[in-house]
Chains A and B, each alone.
Chain A
Amino acid sequence: MVIVAAMVAATVALPALAADLEAGRRKSEPCARCHGDGGNATVPGTPSLAGQPAWFTHWALVKFRDGRRKDPMMSPVAANLSDADMADLAAYYATLPPRPRPQTLDAAKAAAGQRLAVSHHCTSCHRPDLGGQHQVPRLAGQDLDYLLRLLRAYRAGTAGDLEGLMTLAAQPLSDADIENLAHYIAGLTPAP
């Protein structure tokens, strides 16, 4: 993770988001009901936010607010967030350590998924440890149901993708590929 961060810093200079971590912690209190303590959710189908790259979380909130991404639980939450709220929340969640989620996984599917993650170049955008970078989300250790839902949505072109790159990546996936990938990804121990 440290190596990745250093390499990224050398290739692009990110403008410092004027984010306030303490304000982010305060603003995240109402989110814990669904996204868990410390951003590690336990409700199946609800994603963990801990350790997500700040730009990813921020972009996800922007898309819920402007309607490109829709969810009955999340859309009303994002509708009331200002740009500053989003910057604070995104910066705060990026500092929290992600924890593995207790979930039921199938080892044979996961083994097939590991090969797919390489052959489908998932690792080239999401990084080799699937820890994410910039606007590309961390996948490692994410919730199984959530991964399944999102991969199907990207394949169907309904995920509200920012640039269309993930939609493109999901096009060749069969139903079985999606199952296998999700079981592999969900079982990875997220790097701290």
Chain B
Amino acid sequence: MRRITLTSLALALGVVLALAPLVLAQQPPPAWKQGQSPELADSPLAPVPLPPTPTPAKDIPVDKIKLPPGFTISVWADGLHNARQMAWGTRGTLFVGTRVAGSVYAVVDRGDRREVKVIAKGLAQPSGVAFKDGALYVAEIPRLLKYENIEASLDNPPAPKVVYEFPKDAHHNWRFLLWGPDGKLYFNMGAPCNICMPPDTHANISRVNPDGTGFEYYARGVRNSTGADFHPVTKELYFVSHGRDWMGDEIPNDTLHHAPRPGFHFGYPYCHQGDIVDPDFGRGRSCSEFAPPLLKLGPHVAPIGFRFYTGSLFPPQYRNVAFSAQKGSWNRTVKIGYRVMTVELKPGQPPKYEVFADGFHQGDKVLGRPTHIEWMPDGSMLLSDDYHGAIYHITYRR
């Protein structure tokens, strides 16, 4: 090694480069850029970066959100940096997971205001939360954690028990948690890439018993599902999934799927949106081999929370209708999504897909990212926003 000046380094670089033609194996691109076609190589599109701090309620442009007549929206709680999935405790505490903030929050409703407590921090994308028998379950990337008797110790939370260990790959493995009618805990294990042949352990929805035993794959060929619910009447599983990137602005669609029983394969990485064979991985395969989606949700809309409505506050036509919160696109030159849609499922009829809450972007400007949905005891809606770190309250008055 020798001491050199910056200019001599630049000169030396020039010489070496001139003498040595580039013979170097190209590495796989970063996860989010991978699968990009050569024509899109210079595309400036990249995932929406998330702010390092939540936005105070007064600066959140909630007045820009449009809703059907009779519905209103307000900021219910702020200061919940990067808020994602929500779950109620039995004593009225709302638990809130996050991704990049690494924290889990407990929100206590004090009537005129909401008190926000941090009950865990420094976790690896603890996006999924679920509650049962006094215990809070938290899914971070590598582990399923259980905080027992949590509502009695919000100010001094117990050390969690590790109930289950997930594969450690981070990409597309921020999880939702959902209790099944069978008493098991359902979660997603996404593809660790944009488009690839996923290892057997990934690109699925799976379930375990509450004590972490009895792991089973439930649905396969699922690229990246971040929201699911069981139908209130049939008790069958419906879930949303994100389609692959870098096939252009219009394809493929993100999708809604129906998995009435375990064992279906939903197509990834061979077939997208039920009718597009993947240009690389689909060679020699046909979409007819796989379970088709129930509904195309739009290209790149990024559906997150998905919940059926069982309350009685909203008008009767919303009974058993599903709400799909869509955080919005990044891999598209014109933004799409940034809204909440409704999906009405009637036997023997195509699903009815309509806008419910719209306006979380203005052109290229992100005004918020609706992520997960939870219901208030009175039947009104809580909607989390992982961009502003807030929870909105959407209610209805005749």
Contact = CB atoms under 8 A, between A and B. Distances in A.
B21 to A, nearest CB: 10
A121 B12 contact: no
Contacts of B100: 59, 162-163
A3 to B, nearest CB: 11
B49 A12 contact: yes
A105 B53 contact: no
Interface string A57-92: 011001100111000000000000001001100100
A55 B52 contact: yes
Given A12-B366, A107-B9, A135-B49, A168 B25 contact: no
- A-B pairs, top 3 by smallest CB distance, nearest first, are A164-B170, A107-B12, A111-B16
Contact of A135 (B30, B50, B388): B50
Contact of B364 (A10, A68, A114, A187): A10
Interface in A152-172: 157, 161-165, 167-169, 172
Given A66-B103, A124-B29, 19 more contacts: A12-B364, A13-B366, A59-B100, A63-B102, A86-B53, A87-B52, A106-B2, A108-B12, A111-B16, A114-B17, A115-B24, A119-B25, A119-B27, A121-B33, A162-B100, A163-B170, A164-B141, A167-B170, A172-B28
B19 to A, nearest CB: 9
Nearest to A172: B27
Nearest to B168: A157
Nearest to B52: A58
B53 A83 contact: yes
A192 to B, nearest CB: 15
Interface string B280-314: 00000000000000000000000000000000000
Given A7-B44, A124-B29, A67 B122 contact: yes
Nearest to B368: A15
Interface of B: 1-4, 6, 8-9, 12-13, 16-17, 20, 22, 24-33, 44-46, 48-53, 55-56, 59, 99-103, 121-122, 124-125, 141, 168-171, 364-366, 388
A11 B173 CA distance: 26
A46 interface: no
11 contacts: A15-B59, A59-B52, A62-B101, A66-B102, A86-B53, A106-B2, A110-B12, A116-B24, A119-B25, A164-B124, A165-B30
Nearest to A70: B122
B30 A187 contact: no
A86 B54 CA distance: 13
A101 B50 CA distance: 31
Contacts of B16: 107-108, 111
A125 interface: yes
Contacts of B169: 164
B53 A124 contact: no
Given A15-B59, A108-B16, A168-B170, A121 B365 contact: no
A1 to B, nearest CB: 15
B300 to A, nearest CB: 14
A105 B9 contact: yes
A26 interface: no
A67 B9 contact: no
A17 interface: yes
Contacts of B8: 107
B22 A110 contact: no
Given A15-B388, A108-B16, A189 B59 contact: no
Contact of A11 (B6, B28, B45): B45
A113 to B, nearest CB: 9
A148 B121 CA distance: 28
A110 B17 CA distance: 11
A18 B121 CA distance: 24
A62 B81 CA distance: 11
Given A12-B364, A58-B53, A115-B22, A165 B32 contact: yes
Nearest to B36: A124
B388 A124 contact: no
Given A135-B50, A164-B171, A119 B2 contact: no
Interface in A174-192: 187, 189
B348 to A, nearest CB: 43
A104 B31 CA distance: 34
A172 B121 CA distance: 30
Contact of B30 (A105, A110, A169): A169
Interface string A1-39: 000000100111111011000000000000000000000
A165 B169 CA distance: 10
Given A62-B52, A83-B53, A107 B121 contact: no
A86 to B, nearest CB: 7
B260 to A, nearest CB: 34
